[in-house]
Amino acid sequence: MALPRDPQHDPAEEELAWALPVEDEPPPIRRTRPKPIEPWDEPYDLEPAPKRRYVDRYEADFDDDDYEERPRRRRKRKPKEPNKLIPLFVGYGLMLCLLVASAVIAAVIILSNAVVNPEAIETGTSAVFDVVCTFLVFIVALSIGRIRPHPTDGTMQAAAWCSAFPVLGVLLVVNISFVSVVRELFNVPHQPGPGITVVSFLLICLQPALVEEWFFRHLALGTLRKPLGLHGAVWISGTMFGFAHLLNPIAMPYLIIVGVCLGYFRVWSGGLILPMILHGVHNAVVLMADHAM
């Protein structure tokens, strides 16, 4: 860049000024992206950063010898609930085995002609079976533990109590008709029952109404309700109730329907009182009808 001439300057200074080199203007700055560094061009190897331990905010105020780390709090894990299905099905299997064993023992004693009165043997084996079965259900209840209750609306409870006995009447009519039709089709002879006595009332009406409802409508239905839902638990427990009467195979389909109805009445009523009453009344009517035939 040339300097302008000034006539007032001294000629010697002017010649000196013209003789001195003049710096050019700097080039404009160009903004460019930095070139990425390739892995092989890195000046040193990158090492992973060490893991940092728990540091207290006031750790710098203490010496290393005097400092103690705070123990970390561990969350308390909830203990796992025991599997309630195992004692339920084990107890149910033992119940079926006891039922078959009692029938086999009674048949062997009767066929051996060791006694004259076979009805006394049947009544005795039934009484022993009921006592052992009650004890078994008690052990199963202790193994399963507490079952969470499901509250029911008051309107549903009232509807269950009002509709229970009409439904029971329909079931009894279906029972008598079904058994009569099956006996006529397959020519099954009628076998008279034990008769109406105090012992038969206790073994046929009272004990099943209490123990069977406790097992099938409380333990079985309450345990199966969590994994299977309401309807699945009702139908599975009702099927178990029907298969528990192996010695009466003709009435097993009907008894499955009875077990399902009792299961729904147990859910709708919110307790075991209604299904226990229905079960006892049902067995008493069947006992009287069998005695009348």
Give the tens place of pLDDT for each residue, 89-105. 999 999 999 988 888 88
Please report whether residue 151 resides in a domain: yes
pLDDT value at residue 120: 75
pLDDT value at residue 106: 79
pLDDT value at residue 93: 93
- In the three-class reduction of DSSP (H, G, I as helix; E, B as strand; rest coil), residue 86 is classed as helix
Tokens of 208: 């099943």
pLDDT value at residue 89: 92
Please report whether residue 137 resides in a domain: yes
Cα–Cα distance between 277 and 293 in angstroms, integer?
A: 24
Query: How many independent structural domains does the chain possess?
Result: 1
Phi, psi of 136 (to 5 degrees): -65, -40
Please report whether residue 268 resides in a domain: yes
Please report whether residue 28 resides in a domain: no
Q: Residue written as tokens 């079960």? A: 279
Q: Identify which has the larger pLDDT, 124 or 293.
A: 124
**Whole domain around residue 115: which residue ranges?**
85-292
Please report whether residue 163 resides in a domain: yes
- Which has the minimum average pLDDT: 16-25, 205-214, 275-284? 16-25
282: pLDDT confidence band, cut at 50, 70 and 90?
very high
Give the tens place of pLDDT for each residue, 240-271. 999 998 888 888 888 999 999 999 999 999 88
Q: Residue written as tokens 């193994």? A: 143
Please report whether residue 45 resides in a domain: no
Give the tens place of pLDDT for each residue, 14-34. 555 555 555 556 666 666 666
Please report whether residue 90 resides in a domain: yes
Please, which residues have CB within 8 angstroms of residue 188's CB and are 6 or more apart in sequence? 182, 250
Tokens of 162: 């009002």
Give the rounded percent of residues in the chain with a pLDDT score beyond 70: 67
pLDDT value at residue 127: 86
pLDDT value at residue 102: 85
Chain mean pLDDT for the chain: 78
- Within a 13 Å sphere around the CA of 15, how many CA atoms are in the beta-carbon half? 2
Q: Residue written as tokens 């728990």? A: 54
Give the tens place of pLDDT for each residue, 43-101. 555 566 666 555 555 545 545 554 455 566 666 666 676 788 899 999 999 999 998 88
Signed CA dihedral, 59, 65, 67, 71: sign only = positive
Please report whether residue 5 resides in a domain: no
Please, which residues have CB within 8 angstroms of residue 98's CB and are 6 or more apart in sequence? 129, 132, 133, 136
Cα–Cα distance between 282 and 276 in angstroms, integer?
A: 10
